[in-house]
Chain A
């Protein structure tokens, strides 16, 4: 290769990662997703990409089809939806099948990895933010008056809890979602994303298509939430599940 030193000659150590802390290599199709959704597909606020690593197969399939059918991402105001729609349209059914399978696989691997890290590699994560800190960051990102998760006013949480009652009918009291009623899991999604989607339903840029029955149902529920404060309350409460 035009005089370039080959990697083997280099002093840099290249080791197989099996011994290391990362999960297995991503499938080609998932690698594309990871540009925006992040290396673990766990979402990235700066590209407005949600956590897709935790999504069940049926939901991923359903949403990709929604994008393809103009049920989602076809409205001018839904900019990130439009971005996603472009990608969804470039996917074949085989791609979708592969993505769905590989994400399910990844899910297993992630669970194992988390266990592994917790038991053997504690020192690696010593600098990482704790779960609580992470929630704190999220709370701040909502740009409300709430300063931190710990200082959360109890009435806000109880308001959230009250509001969540109607959500729990489909998404479950554990927030893990239920396929039978086409309700996705909510607990692992970042708060900014939940808030944005509720706003999108309210604004009629998601769940607008008459054939999208679960979307339409969400629209009517979202429109029942009266204020941004209430939205903050409910998405904050979801984090406590």
Chain B
């Protein structure tokens, strides 16, 4: 390699040529640490004045990003959005906002207080979602840390193995005891196992030292509880007195053991996470402020016609139908809804679109008149429960103020979401109260208002976190990632990370860069 090119400058060159993904791969290949992209602007070539009209279908995060970038490059954009609002799944609910659920259209009941908001869609951003963070930084959107985990929050099992009663322990206690159990096992077998070669004496000693520290074992390798989980006496005035460890049976039978315990190990959920001050829709508002092209709300796309040199879009806006004749189209409408629109897509493209299936996610936000969780030592983080509500999230902003909005349910998957989706909004709240009461004393009494958002029932959405089977992904993902003529499909659905704004932005970036390569002015002038 030419010595005058430093690794970093090489990455910059690659960035200009191959876009972000080239940088990403190269950074990995050069043996640098797990690559995290430096924030980078898309430098699209200026638009060709004779061929510069673009229709953007859907004003979610991906559509807004495309509009913003294309507008900067001189394109004439029109954004068509079926809903009464821009933002798509990036939805923060406040007092009197319309909750547009099919069959249960209603207004958000929260009190008119700017701090009473509920991030019904995205709520967290990890430090490696560099595309999202790039825009947050460029638009000077204030961020704050969102505590995604708290060792003082709870693990709650409705029925524990032996007692048949529900059981609630602090997460810290559960983790300490789980590690204790595993360490004891490891300690007992450390001198008997070997990996490739037998351990040397020193290695064995080092390993044992680690095992002891990992589980907080005694000198003899026993686990007898740990003050990592706190103490039954005041730790400041007395020698700490750990609680007796949970039984092995209790540990193994908990829902927490298999999955949730490890949730914060997931790359996107690793602390610290961030959130936008005042609500995640700060990102939507920032885009809206900077985009000058018309964003037509209540404009439902009905027909997409590919032409030799462009696209025709038919949409209905109130009672009027109009056709937009444009050179290019970027489409973020959920694929499971596109398949219901009139179109002249080639068969294989339509087939590929049909492989994207609806996902199910469900959240409840509760306005609480007191921050009772803080009295229990909980400042942010998540309680995990085996009951229907799945998770309770405590806010980590506005600590010690009087009130707060907490998440009273976060549910994934078709079966579990169905339990709430089929209920009326009132009945859902009732269920959330029952589940919450089993975890916090007098829980229901603190609730002043609540809103539920079943994403698979929301108008113009009918799903979130689109699913593609592994076989379909192999066969069709490339197909939907490639444009069809002058039509580019975008959105988190065209990423390996659906259900994350970073996925939506990555797909938008990918589409913009391939658009630029194919139709950018330099190559055509």
Contacts and interface: CB of A to CB of B under 8 A. Distances in A.
Contacts of B296: 7
A5 B293 contact: yes
Contacts of A49: 340
Nearest to B354: A46
Given A4-B294, A47-B462, A76-B422, A38 B341 contact: yes
Contact of A39 (B292, B335, B340): B340
Interface in B303-342: 303, 305-306, 312, 314, 316, 319-326, 335-337, 339-342
Contact of A35 (B55, B76, B102, B356): B102
Given A5-B293, A31-B316, A39 B341 contact: yes
B459 interface: yes
Contacts of A169: none
B282 to A, nearest CB: 17
Contact of A34 (B52, B295, B340, B346): B340
A32 B458 CA distance: 11
B357 to A, nearest CB: 7
A39 B336 contact: no
B324 A35 contact: no
B475 to A, nearest CB: 14
Contacts of A40: 342
Q: Give the one of B82, B105, B302, B462 with max A CB within 10 A.
A: B302
A36 interface: yes
A150 interface: no
Q: Give the one of A28, A46, A127 with max B CB within 10 A.
A: A46
B495 interface: no
Contacts of A39: 302-303, 340-342
Interface size for chain A: under 10, 10 to 19, 20 to 34, or 35 or more residues? Answer: 35 or more
Contacts of A35: 82, 102, 337, 459-460, 462
A122 to B, nearest CB: 13
Contact of A36 (B316, B326, B340, B342): B340
B428 interface: no
A79 B418 contact: yes
Contacts of B322: 14-17
Nearest to A33: B102
A60 B293 CA distance: 42
Contact of A44 (B337, B418, B422): B337
Interface stretch (A81-89, A154-162, A225-233): A81-89
A32 B102 contact: yes
Interface residues of B, number: 57
Contact of B336 (A20, A32, A47): A47
A128 interface: yes
A6 interface: yes
A46 B340 contact: yes
B323 A14 contact: yes
Given A4-B293, A31-B300, A34-B302, A26 B103 contact: no
Nearest to B300: A31
A176 B291 CA distance: 52
Q: Give the one of A16, A24, A127 with max B CB within 10 A.
A: A127
A12 interface: yes
Interface string B188-206: 0000000000000000000
Contacts of A24: 321
B351 interface: yes
A10 B78 contact: yes
Interface in B462-516: 462
B347 interface: yes
Given A22-B302, A31-B300, A124-B305, A17 B294 contact: no
A17 B314 contact: yes
B315 to A, nearest CB: 10
B103 A10 contact: no
Given A22-B303, A46-B357, A129-B347, A12 B53 contact: yes
A44 B357 CA distance: 12
Interface in B150-193: none
Q: Give the one of A13, A76, A124 with max B CB within 10 A.
A: A13
Contacts of B357: 46
Nearest to B312: A20
A34 B462 contact: no
Contacts of B421: 82-83
Contacts of A7: 78, 294, 296
B55 to A, nearest CB: 8
A87 B103 contact: yes
B331 to A, nearest CB: 14
B131 interface: no
A3 interface: yes
A32 B294 CA distance: 24
A84 B295 CA distance: 31
5 shortest A-B CB distances, which residue pairs? A38-B340, A44-B340, A86-B103, A46-B336, A39-B302
21 contacts: A5-B292, A13-B325, A17-B314, A17-B323, A22-B302, A22-B323, A22-B342, A35-B82, A35-B462, A44-B336, A45-B339, A46-B337, A46-B340, A49-B340, A86-B422, A89-B103, A90-B103, A90-B104, A127-B346, A128-B344, A133-B347
Interface of A: 3-7, 10-17, 20-22, 24-28, 31-32, 34-40, 43-47, 49, 76, 79, 82-83, 86-90, 124-125, 127-129, 133, 137
